[in-house]
Amino acid sequence: MKQELKQQLKDKYKIFSDINEVNISVGDGWYDVIDGGSQLIQEYLDKRPNMVVKVGQIKEKFGEMRFYVDGHVDEYINEIINTMEDASSSVCEKCGNICKEKIRTAGWVKTMCAPCYKEHTQEKVKWFQEIAKKKIDVIK
């Protein structure tokens, strides 16, 4: 996720006050899901000053978001987190479009729409060719 988006989450929600930014390791496309869920959690906590909940890590696993928190997690907060994680599996992690299809390759599963996947693979092709060209240039 872009640095400015991570900073926006930290500026908006106290639940992000303790997180190390390297522990937010998902694509920009999931920002809206995180923003929406975090707002609900923060509003709930603001009315309950004795409850402390902090986001510890947000990552992707098998094409779905994992949203880890520390502290006093009750049924309400748990349900919001479950809903965010479920919703992420229908949203392209790269661009945020609704996308029901998963990209599956031998090594991984990603929730990514077809245009983003195409762009993603083209970036990899370019990356490879740049490395290859550097090696070839040395031979010439």
- Given the rule CB under 5 A, which residues bind Zn ion? 92, 94-95, 97, 113, 116
State the DSSP string of 21-41. Answer: GGGB-S-GGGHHHHHHHHHHH
Output 94 or 110, the one with its CB closest to Zn ion: 94
Among candidate residues 36, 49, 20, the one with its CA nearest the CA of residue 84 = 36
Least separation in angstroms between CB 16 and Zn ion: 25
Output 42 or 97, the one with its CB closest to Zn ion: 97
Least separation in angstroms between CB 116 and Zn ion: 3
How many CB atoms within 10 Å of residue 21?
Answer: 13
Least separation in angstroms between CB 98 and Zn ion: 10
Asked if 65 and 40 count as a contact pair (C-beta separation under 8 A), the reply is no
Output 26 or 113, the one with its CB closest to Zn ion: 113
